[in-house]
Amino acid sequence: MRDDDEKTRAFAAIRRITWLGTFVNLFLVGFKCIAGWLGNSSVIIADAVHSLSDLITDAAILLGMRFWSRPADQDHPYGHAKVETLVTLFIGAALAAVGIGLLYDAVHSIVGILQGKETPPPTWLPLVAALVSIALKEWLYRITVKVGMTAKSAATVANAWHHRSDAMSSIPAAVAIGACLVLGPQFTFLDPVGTVVVAFMIIHVAWKVTQPTFAALLDSGASEAQCRALAEVIRSFPEVKDSHKLRTRHVGPTGLALDVHIHVHPNMSVTEAHELSHRIQQKLLQSGEHVIDVFVHIEPAGDQSIISQRPLL
C-alpha cells in the first residue's frame, strides 16, 4: 500500500511540474517570437522555436505518463516502463531535430550576410526576452530535475534537461544581441553566429538525453561494476553458499530486472528458503542500483561436506 501511495504522489508531482513547464513555455514562445519579430533578431526567434519544442515534449510527458504509470498486467508482466523509454527517446529526437533545423537556418543567414545581403541590427527588446528566458528556464530546470530524481523518472529528468538547454541557448543569444547593440550594425553577423552556437548546444544535449534509452530498448544488462555490487549484496547473506547465473536487463530508462541462482544448505526447509529469497529481494530493491524486479532461484549446495551432513533416512 505504501509503494502505491508513493507512486501516486510521484505521478502527481510529475503532472504538476509538467503543467507548470507548459504554461511557462507558452509564455516564452509568444514573448520571444514577438521580441524577435519586432526587434530584428533571428537568434531569439530560433530560441523561440526551441521553446516551442519544449511544449511538444511537455505534451509527450503528460500523454505518455498515462501509459507508463499503469501497473503490470497479463499482456505486460514487466509493466509499461518502456513507454517512458520511448517518450525519452522522442524528447531527444525532438531536441536533435530542433538543433539541426536551427543550424541550417543560421548557416543560410551567415552565407546571405557574406554575399552582401542587408540585415537590420537587433534592438534591445530581444535582449530582454533572452534574459527573461534564461532566468525562467533555469528555475524551471532546477525544480523539474528535483521532481524527476525523486520520482526516478528518466523522462522527467530528460524534460528538465530540455528546459536547461533552452536556458543555455538563450545565453549565446543574449551575448550575440548584446554585442550587436554595443559594437554597432557592422557586427550584425554575430546574431546568426550565436544561433550556430545555440544549435550545437542543443544537439549535444539531445545526445545526452537519447543515449541511455538505447540500453533499455536493446535489453542490455547492468554494467560490470553494478553486477559486482549486486553480487556482493546477494553474498552478504550467510545462508547463501554461492550464487551464479546473475542476469540483468534494463526495464525502462533506468530500472533493472534481475534474476539469480543461489546455493543454500540442502537441508534448508522450503519455508526457510522462501523467507531467504524474500529478504534477498527486498535488500536488492533497496540497494540503490535501480533494481525494480527480482527473481531468486534456490538450488541445494553441491559441496560434498555439506551433503554428507544430511541425516540418513
Half-sphere exposure of 73 (CA within 13 A, CB side): 7
Which helix or strand (DSSP H or E) is residue 191 part of? helix 190-217
pLDDT of residue 73: 63
Q: Write out the residue limits of the CATH 1.20.1510.10 domain(s) in the chain.
A: 2-212
As a whole-number percent, the residues of the chain with pLDDT over 70 amount to 81
* Cell matching residue 185: 550594425
What single letter denotes the amino acid at residue 272?
Answer: E
The average pLDDT across 47-61 equals 72
pLDDT of residue 4: 59
What's the predicted TM-score (pTM) here?
0.58
pLDDT of residue 65: 66
Q: Does domain 2-212 have CATH number 1.20.1510.10?
A: yes
As a whole-number percent, the residues of the chain with pLDDT over 90 amount to 6
Q: How far apart are CA 46 and CA 39, in angstroms?
A: 13
Residue 225: partners with Cβ closer than 8 Å, 6 or more residues away: none
The average pLDDT across 176-199 equals 80
Q: Does the pLDDT at position 165 exceed 90?
A: no
Q: Write out the residue limits of the CATH 3.30.70.1350 domain(s) in the chain.
A: 224-307
Which residue's entry shows cell 522555436? 49
User: Quick one: which of 16, 40, 51 has its CA closest to 190?
Assistant: 40
SS3 248: strand
pLDDT of residue 77: 58
Q: How far apart are CA 201 and CA 169, in angstroms?
A: 7
Residue 194: partners with Cβ closer than 8 Å, 6 or more residues away: 43, 172, 173, 175, 176, 177
pLDDT of residue 306: 43
Q: How far apart are CA 80 and CA 132, in angstroms?
A: 38
Q: Does the pLDDT at position 205 exceed 80?
A: no
Q: Are 190 and 179 in contact (CB under 8 A)?
A: yes
Question: How many CB atoms are closer than 10 A to CB 38?
Answer: 12
Q: Does domain 224-307 have CATH number 3.30.70.1350?
A: yes
For the chain, report the end-to-end CA distance as a whole number of angstroms. Answer: 46
- What is the tens place of the pLDDT at every residue in 273-312? 888 888 888 888 877 667 777 888 888 876 544 443 443 3
Residue 197: partners with Cβ closer than 8 Å, 6 or more residues away: 172, 176
Using 50, 70 and 90 to split pLDDT, how confident is the model at 80?
Answer: low
